Structure 1
Amino acid sequence: MIYFIGAGPGAADLITVKGKDLLEKADLIIYAGSLVNPELLKYAKPECVIMDSAKMTLEEVIAAMVPAAQAGKLVVRLHTGDPSVYGAHREQIDLLRSYNLDFEIVPGVSSFCAAAACLDAEYTLPNVSQSVIITRMEGRTPVPNKQKIADYAAHKATMVIFLSSGMLEKLQKELISGGYTADTPAAIVYKASWPDEKVCRCTVGTLAETAKEHNITKTALITVGNFLGNIYDRSELYNPTFAHGYRTADPSKLDLKPEVK
């Protein structure tokens, strides 16, 4: 059996319980060494074979996993964050299907969730943003037509931008050309949840300058939008004036600073 496991954003205790359990049982672990916290490998049993995929090709990864799985061993392919977000696991799965091997995907905590926690922020705020756009700048990997940064910036929704911290001058130009103003709140979150985590608050117009000041060139997420501001409407979910299937409305209880006993 082959398990594709999301390692979480970095901190070793942010892997799921199921992911940790499988790491402890694994006979072979292939992990993304350039991104996954090596502390996670301490969960492996002493006889487990551990391979770093940072220097491996897709073909080499498959060549290691297939014979182990065919021999009845438990194989773990450990991806950073959640495998579904820029994890490149689809191409591995398609190749494994050609060998008639069983596999399972174990989700993980994505770094975009950890970044929000670092910022003490909520991506979706009433009357500010009800959508989160996860995207990246175009680099060696092309971006489909109508999915450029400027296209998404026109929506003025919350944006979380992966794999782009080395292209911030281009990024801020794209964001502004798409519709964001230069003074729109932004933040650079470097290695969210790692011991050397760093949070740099800035604006769209100062992204490149801020990254240079803090010597950030990689392993960072860029967040953009007014969710980083202080103005938003109260949610109706817990508003005493709002009735729903579990609660009747009672306007007399409206108090933004209720008495705490």
Structure 2
Amino acid sequence: MEKVHFIGAGPGDPELITIKGKKLIDQADVIIYAGSLVNPAVLAGRKKDAEVHDSAYMNLDEVMDVMISAAKAGKKVVRVHTGDPSIYGAIREQMVRLDAEGIDYDVIPGVSSFCASAAAVKKEFTLPSVSQTVIITRMEGRTPMPDGEKLKDLAKHHASMCIFLSVGFMDELTKTLLEAGYAPDCPMAVVYKASWPEQKILYGTVSDMAEKVKENKIEKTAMTMVGGFLGDKFELSKLYDSHFTTGYRKGTD
């Protein structure tokens, strides 16, 4: 019986998949990939006779039937998710099914879209004196948010925030941020399809981002970021401060 490999395909650019993930895809007999989000280019080096399934058109039972039967038949199976599969990847429910069947599996991490979005805007989430915390969340939709995790609760921390799957609710999102105490001029950025050729970046503030999103007709596949880290005021880090002693060098007086 073969092991199943869950692979993070990265945010879109086919060169941002890990070497390990790419090798496993190229060796696979059966590939199940999230076609609505994963760039098909990451499958370009697959074997000519590889069996390919787009999970955008499949439900969980159909995905698992393919995965389980192939693994039991001794075929190398890869399950390819967008970004990093540990974030909104819905992989746990698949793992539970594999556990029940006694099928081994592993997870190959990938570059998440929140990391690719920070790279696109050339910013750092954790700036000294600004924020040392990153909150990854989403607006409540068909999937309810647990108690204490609604955006209005998390926004009160004023940490660096990455809001997935929510650009279509920008009016409500920005209204919630304002109610949670964000200043109207707090910087925001929306990155559409980070790292793809069609990537688009919108810069704005909590007060005007909803209008900019409408003007640019961005309704999905975008990362929303908000916080002071998008601004230009911060303190220098202690890591490279010449006066700061570390385990590798002695600081100057």
Shorter-chain TM-score bucket reads over 0.9
Cα-to-partner distance string for 1:209-260 (whole Å, 9 max, x where unaligned): 0111111000000000000000000001001011121111125xxxxxxxxx
Give the one of 76, 79, 82 matched to 1:80: 82
Aligned pair 1:15/2:34, yes or no?
no
Give the number of equivalent residue pairs: 251
**What residue is the counterpart of 1:129 in the other structure?**
131
Aligned pair 1:186/2:168, yes or no?
no
In structure 2, the residue corresponding to 1:235 is in which secondary structure?
coil
Q: What stretches of structure 2 of length at least 5 have no aligned partner? A: none
How is 1:147-186 mapped onto 2 (pairs within 5 angstroms)?
147-186=149-188
Letter in 2 for 1:22: L
C-alpha displacement of 1:182: 1.5
C-alpha displacement of 1:103: 0.5
Q: In 2, Cα distance between the equivalents of 1:97 and 1:249?
A: 52
In structure 1, the residue corresponding to 2:135 is in which secondary structure?
strand
Cα-to-partner distance string for 1:100-131 (whole Å, 9 max, x where unaligned): 00111110000100000000000000000000
TM-score by length of 1: 0.95
Aligned pair 1:205/2:222, yes or no?
no
Q: What stretches of structure 1 of length at least 5 have no aligned partner? A: 252-261
C-alpha displacement of 1:206: 1.4
Give the one of 231, 234, 250 matched to 2:252: 250
Q: In 1, Cα distance between the equivalents of 2:25 and 2:195?
A: 20
Letter in 1 for 2:183: T
Letter in 1 for 2:240: Y
Check whether the contact 1:150–1:179 (CA below 8 A) recurs between aligned residues.
no
Q: In 1, Cα distance between the equivalents of 2:139 and 2:176?
A: 9
> CA RMSD of the aligned region, Å?
0.7
Give the one of 72, 95, 98 matched to 2:97: 95
Letter in 2 for 1:233: E
Letter in 1 for 2:51: V
Q: In 1, Cα distance between the equivalents of 2:242 and 2:183?
A: 36
C-alpha displacement of 1:175: 1.0
Q: In 1, Cα distance between the equivalents of 2:178 and 2:153?
A: 11
**What residue is the counterpart of 2:47 in the other structure?**
45
**What residue is the counterpart of 1:233 in the other structure?**
235
**What residue is the counterpart of 2:65 in the other structure?**
63
In structure 2, the residue corresponding to 1:19 is in which secondary structure?
helix
In structure 2, the residue corresponding to 1:248 is in which secondary structure?
coil
Higher mean alpha-carbon deviation, 199-208 vs 14-23, is at 199-208
C-alpha displacement of 1:55: 1.2
Give the one of 124, 127, 140 matched to 1:138: 140
Aligned pair 1:25/2:27, yes or no?
yes
Letter in 2 for 1:228: L
Q: In 2, Cα distance between the equivalents of 1:51 and 1:42?
A: 14
Letter in 2 for 1:130: Q
